[in-house]
């Protein structure tokens, strides 16, 4: 989040000193999208309402001095997440004493985790247990107000209230503040900020998750839905929570002439943001799974927290009773059917379960920008992945390429026809071996993917039912930059929960430097060339030098 904030600050003409570097790019941007932790900065930028990111960060830097989750220390949970996600379904029951694929690592780490969560010793660093319990009681009360209104809740509802306390500006932290009401902000109304999009993945627990046919859900201040062929429909986000059947309200008020009854207030901004960044369940899953094995003196305090959330000493992870995913119930697309739909339908399920936007391996939200109707010319893609030593290794690029280069999928694969009539995939060629590409440090400078039509793979074969051919559409050029250390070590863990002001400023500055790419004094001009590549046939002569320097050429591909 902090590195991403630095990137936005570099692009903002309101940032002091930015006007002579990259300032103004943000003001020229039509859309901004985020996944997982990136959704935090997208929503934060929306709520700043035109205030420069550099000024807005003062409040955030103060908030991040306290843990996002009270009493929970910084932890390296990536390995634990991987182990949990790869466990057979039957081992998810916490009633067994077997550790399963998590191995002894978790067994050894967990007691120390609990001790550090609730240190009850006499040392000066001991947590105030009462304060920690009050924190969780407060967020529980806020989350339960939704349940008392008749809606199902999950861990993500608690995560939402936690996020609101740390990464959402203070004046918007009310449990009732909705994303649809954010559309009334002046900077949004006068189009002086980019249109915000956050994404999530709709899934069925127990089914494999992959990027090729994952169901991507978009959430914006206007709509909730998906462009993917399994749905290809949206609803007004303001009326999430309304019982609908094929788009028609199911409830009527007979006292006012059988008028349809719609719900509002379900689309709280914190809940939607938490949905896109639902990694919160990792911490609870492994603590909750092994709780019955613990006898440490701190366990009673941990049990009190779990009981606040409705858990007990004998856990039951029955998904029908409690979910680690965000529950959108009632399903707004219940009964929705269109003969053009292709893929696993959601029309017969009463609830949608949504997971972190990066669950399918696509940690960069390319999909919103590949919608033909949005007419995007260029994508500024920043890879903030943490695959290897908390650094990106290109696997997110590969996941998106696998999705759009596939020849078979449970979804319709989008295609386009270039000006010469050749049918091609909508995502450009990337290095065939991204790991080697990253190990050579080539990723430490910007790279342009899709400069020429020949950089998009040809579609070989018929345009059958499994494909969607878009006419009059040319996919955007992708300007890709991977996070790396420039002015400050930026490989902090995804699960890092506290930062000193100096650390926060260092990460922010590293993001600024990443966007500026100061090693090339002509980079600002080259970025202009990338932006105009799709619009103008004749570009300044210096653009050719830029393209030769930054455009990626595939080693071998079918042109």
User: pLDDT tens digit string along 262-282?
Assistant: 999 999 999 999 998 876 555
* Predicted local confidence at residue 95, as pLDDT: 27
pLDDT interval class at 295 (50, 70, 90): low
Same domain for 310 and 191: yes
pLDDT tens for residues 456-487?
A: 999 998 898 899 999 999 999 999 999 999 99
Same domain for 340 and 367: no
* Predicted local confidence at residue 292, as pLDDT: 53
Does residue 44 fall inside a structural domain? no
The dihedral region occupied by 479, where left means phi > 0, alpha psi between -120 and 50, and beta the remainder, is beta
* Predicted local confidence at residue 430, as pLDDT: 95
Same domain for 422 and 388: yes
Same domain for 374 and 342: no
pLDDT interval class at 489 (50, 70, 90): confident
* Predicted local confidence at residue 89, as pLDDT: 39
Does residue 50 fall inside a structural domain? no
Query: What's the rounded mean pLDDT across residues 283-287?
Result: 54
Does residue 197 fall inside a structural domain? yes
Does residue 58 fall inside a structural domain? no
Alpha-carbon distance values, 475 to 155, 211, 244, 466, 533 (Å): 38, 19, 35, 20, 11
Residue 365, beta-bridge partner list? none
Percentage of the residues of the chain whose pLDDT score is greater than 70: 79
DSSP string, 261-321: ----S--BHHHHHHHHTTTHHHHHHHHHHHGGG---TTHHHHHHHHHHTT--SS----TTT
Alpha-carbon distance values, 161 to 178, 493, 499 (Å): 13, 22, 20
Does residue 440 register a pLDDT over 50? yes
Lowest-pLDDT range of 180-194, 327-341, 543-557 = 543-557
Q: Tokens standing for 94?
A: 């916490």
CA distance 201 to 154: 16
* Predicted local confidence at residue 100, as pLDDT: 35
Q: Which of 318, 358, 303, 298 is nearest to 78 (CA)?
A: 358
More confidently predicted of 24 and 434: 24
pLDDT interval class at 45 (50, 70, 90): very high
Residue 371 CA from chain centroid, whole number: 18
* Predicted local confidence at residue 307, as pLDDT: 65
Same domain for 488 and 396: yes
CB 233 within 8 A of CB 384: no
* Predicted local confidence at residue 454, as pLDDT: 96
Instruction: Write the secondary structure of 83-134 as one string of H (helix), E (strand) and C (coil).
Output: HHHCCCHHHHCCCCCCCHHHHHHHHHHHHHHHHHHCCCCCCCCCCCHHHHHH
Does residue 7 fall inside a structural domain? no
Does residue 215 register a pLDDT over 80? yes
Does residue 19 register a pLDDT over 90? no
* Predicted local confidence at residue 284, as pLDDT: 54
Same domain for 293 and 257: yes
Does residue 97 register a pLDDT over 50? no
Output the pTM of the full model: 0.88
Same domain for 190 and 101: yes
Same domain for 290 and 153: yes
Does residue 96 register a pLDDT over 50? no
Of 333, 355, 377, the residue at which a domain comes to its end is 355
What is the domain count for the chain? 2
Does residue 27 fall inside a structural domain? no
Does residue 444 register a pLDDT over 90? no
pLDDT tens for residues 130-154?
A: 777 788 788 888 988 999 999 999 8
Lowest-pLDDT range of 25-29, 107-111, 159-163 = 107-111
Other beta carbons within 10 angstroms of residue 291's beta carbon come to 20
CA distance 223 to 369: 16
Does residue 52 fall inside a structural domain? no
Q: Provide the sign of the torsion angle of the four alpha carbons 331, 336, 340, 342, taken in this order.
A: positive
Same domain for 473 and 350: no
CA distance 97 to 454: 56
Same domain for 429 and 381: yes
CB 553 within 8 A of CB 481: no
pLDDT tens for residues 99-136?
A: 333 334 444 444 555 555 555 444 444 456 677 778 87
More confidently predicted of 30 and 130: 30
Of 355, 378, 399, the residue at which a domain comes to its end is 355
Lowest-pLDDT range of 160-169, 365-374, 376-385 = 160-169
CA distance 194 to 27: 7
Query: What's the rounded mean pLDDT across residues 286-308?
Result: 57
Which residues in 331-342 are b (16+ Cβ under 10 Å) and which e?
bbbbebeeeebb
CB 559 within 8 A of CB 499: no
Query: What's the rounded mean pLDDT across residues 509-530?
Result: 95
Same domain for 441 and 315: no
Report the chain's C-alpha Rg in angstroms: 24
Of 306, 322, 355, the residue at which a domain comes to its end is 355
* Predicted local confidence at residue 67, as pLDDT: 75
Helix axes 2-11, 501-516, angle to 10 degrees: 50
Does residue 64 fall inside a structural domain? no
For residue 499, what are the domain limits?
A: 363-550
Does residue 194 register a pLDDT over 70? yes
Residue 170 CA from chain centroid, whole number: 22
Same domain for 382 and 345: no
Q: Please state whether beta strands 413-417 and 223-226 pair in parallel, antiparallel, or not at all (unpaired).
A: unpaired
* Arithmetic mean of pLDDT over the chain: 83
């Amino acid at each position: 989040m902090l590195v991403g904030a630095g990137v936005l600050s570099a692009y903002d003409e309101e940032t002091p000193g930015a006007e002579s570097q990259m300032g103004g790019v943000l003001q020229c941007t039509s859309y901004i999208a985020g996944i997982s932790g990136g959704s935090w900065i997208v929503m934060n930028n929306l709520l700043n309402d035109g205030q420069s990111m550099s000024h807005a960060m003062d409040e955030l830097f103060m908030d991040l001095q306290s843990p996002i989750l009270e009493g929970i220390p910084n932890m390296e949970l990536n390995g634990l997440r991987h182990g949990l996600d790869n466990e057979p379904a039957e081992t998810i029951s916490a009633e067994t004493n077997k550790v399963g694929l998590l191995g002894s690592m978790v067994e050894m780490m967990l007691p120390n985790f609990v001790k550090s969560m609730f240190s009850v010793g006499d040392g000066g660093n001991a947590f105030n247990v009462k304060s920690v319990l009050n924190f969780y009681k407060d967020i529980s009360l806020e989350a339960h107000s939704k349940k008392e209104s008749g809606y199902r809740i999950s861990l993500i509802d608690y995560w939402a209230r936690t996020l609101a306390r740390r990464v959402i500006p203070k004046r918007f932290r009310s449990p009732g503040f909705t994303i649809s009401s954010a559309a009334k902000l002046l900077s949004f109304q006068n189009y002086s900020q980019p249109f915000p999009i956050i994404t999530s993945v709709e899934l069925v627990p127990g089914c494999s998750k992959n990027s090729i046919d994952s169901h991507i859900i978009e959430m914006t201040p206007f709509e909730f839905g998906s462009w993917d062929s399994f749905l290809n429909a949206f609803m007004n986000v303001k009326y999430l929570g309304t019982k609908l059947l094929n788009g028609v309200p199911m409830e009527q008020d007979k006292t006012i002439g059988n008028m349809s009854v719609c719900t509002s207030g379900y689309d709280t901004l914190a809940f939607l943001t938490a949905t896109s960044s639902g990694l919160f369940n990792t911490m609870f899953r492994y603590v909750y799974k092994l709780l019955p094995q613990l006898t440490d003196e701190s366990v009673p305090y941990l049990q009190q927290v779990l009981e606040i959330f409705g858990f007990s000493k004998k856990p039951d992870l029955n998904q029908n009773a409690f979910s680690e995913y965000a529950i959108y119930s009632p399903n707004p697309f219940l009964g929705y059917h269109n003969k053009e739909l292709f893929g696993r339908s959601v029309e017969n399920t009463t609830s949608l379960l949504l997971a972190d936007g990066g669950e399918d391996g696509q940690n960069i939200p390319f999909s919103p920008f590949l919608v033909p109707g949005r007419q995007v010319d260029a994508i500024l893609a920043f890879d903030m992945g943490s695959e290897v030593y908390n650094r990106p290794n290109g696997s997110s690029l590969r996941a998106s390429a696998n999705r759009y280069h596939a020849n078979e999928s449970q979804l319709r694969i989008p295609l386009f026809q270039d000006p010469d009539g050749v049918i091609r995939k909508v995502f450009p060629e990337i290095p065939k071996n991204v790991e080697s590409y990253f190990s050579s440090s080539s990723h430490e400078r910007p790279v342009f993917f899709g400069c020429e039509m020949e950089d998009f793979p040809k579609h070989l074969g018929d345009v059958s039912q499994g494909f969607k051919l878009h006419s009059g559409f040319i996919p955007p050029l992708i300007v890709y930059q991977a996070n790396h250390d420039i002015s400050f070590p930026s490989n902090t863990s995804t699960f890092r929960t506290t930062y000193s002001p100096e650390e926060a400023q260092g990460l922010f500055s590293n993001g600024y430097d990443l966007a500026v790419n100061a090693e090339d004094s002509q980079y600002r001009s080259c970025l202009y060339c990338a932006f105009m590549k799709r619009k103008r046939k004749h570009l300044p002569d210096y653009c050719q030098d830029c393209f030769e320097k930054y455009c990626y050429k595939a080693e071998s591909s079918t042109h």
